[in-house]
Amino acid sequence: MLQEIIWTLKPLILPPGGLLILALLGFALGKGWFGRFLVFMALLGLWLLSTPLVSSTLAQRAQQGIEPVAASAIRQAEAIVVLGGGLYAGAPEYGGDTVAGELLERLRYAAWLSRSTDLPVIPTGGSGEAYVPEARLAAQVLREEFGVRVAAVEDRSRTTRENALFTAKILKRKRIGPVLLVTHARHMRRALRAFKRAGVEALPAPTLFKAEQRMRFRDLLPDAAALKESSQALHEQLGRLWYRLRNDWKESRGERVQTAT
């Protein structure tokens, strides 16, 4: 139930939803200075978050401290775990559901690593009752399109935390030790924290880094892709804060943080 509430609130907090609500609140307050101020701040925030300059800065901050996979990590790893990232539901050209967007980007890198190391891949991620779980679709793509081995499929999780908890049980059952963890660079810090708390020795293997770029005039102009990037980066910051508060609250109550059993 708590997770459903979070999913409902998320689009009302992250841009553009949160900014639109702020603007509506300003309109509701009428012509007073405070109402006008709220509308102005909402419009200004929408403009700034829509610029490549701000979105690039936020994206780089989200991936701060994350580096490409190290050679030492590759030597230690016994498998590759790739996190879910979205599906293309009812794809007419494929005859049904298939992977899409960020999941496809992650799968491509996981497959490249697998071919380079001969390590098997474990996709993780569910999709609820309405669609085929992401992990099953990912396994199909890995086998049939990329030609790599799939060691297991974790298809029940709905969040990064559940990715970690459910995958930990599979790794323990199959007696698999350290794993390379594949996800986007901006998402890696939160993912590593979740897998560490689940008792998994996860070695970062990030993909899709946001490169630094030279300042150009058009980077100050609004762009739909930049707004999406800003929203994704802020989502990671809020996700890290939520995980930290949740774990600190449980520990303050003397509860043991759940790990794989």
pLDDT digits (tens, 9 = 90+) for 102-122: 999 999 999 999 999 999 999
Same-domain check for residues 241 and 196: no
What pLDDT score does 146 carry? Answer: 97
Are 21 and 144 in a shared domain?
Answer: no
Residue 195 has a pLDDT of: 98
Please report the pLDDT score of residue 243 as a whole number.
82
> Is residue 20 one of the residues assigned to a domain?
yes
Q: Is the pLDDT of residue 60 over 80?
A: yes
Residue 58 counted as domain residue: yes
Q: What tens digit of pLDDT does each residue of 132-146 get?
A: 999 999 999 999 999
Q: At what angle do helices 224-252 and 33-49 cross, to 10 degrees?
A: 110
Would residue 261 count as lying in a domain? no
Q: How many domains does the chain have?
A: 2
Residues 147 and 247 placed together within one structural domain of the fold: no
Residues 58 and 126 in one domain: no
Same domain flag for 58 and 146: no
203 shares a domain with 105: yes
Q: Is residue 216 part of a domain?
A: no
Higher per-residue pLDDT: 211 or 80: 80
Q: Average of pLDDT values for 40-60? A: 97
The Cα 73–Cα 180 span in angstroms is 7
Residue-wise DSSP of the chain? -HHHHHHHHHHHHSTTHHHHHHHHHHHHTTTSHHHHHHHHHHHHHHHHHTSHHHHHHHHHHHTTT--SPPHHHHHH-SEEEEE---EEEEETTTTEEEE-HHHHHHHHHHHHHHHHH---EEEE----SSS--HHHHHHHHHHHTS---B---B----SHHHHHHHHHHHHHHHT---EEEEEEHHHHHHHHHHHHHTT--EEEEEE---------GGGGS--HHHHHHHHHHHHHHHHHHHHHHHHHHHHHTTPPPP---
Regarding whether 176 and 124 lie in a shared domain, the answer is: yes
On whether residue 33 sits in a domain, the answer given is yes
Q: Are residues 228 and 128 in the same domain?
A: no
Q: Mind listing the pLDDT tens digit for each residue in 206-247? A: 999 998 878 889 999 999 999 999 999 999 999 998 888 877
The string of pLDDT tens digits covering residues 149-204 is 999 999 999 999 999 999 999 999 999 999 999 999 999 999 999 999 999 999 99
Q: State whether 156 and 30 are in the same domain.
A: no
CATH number of the domain bearing residue 191: 3.40.50.620
Judge if 37 and 75 occupy the same domain. no
Range of the domain at 111: 71-207
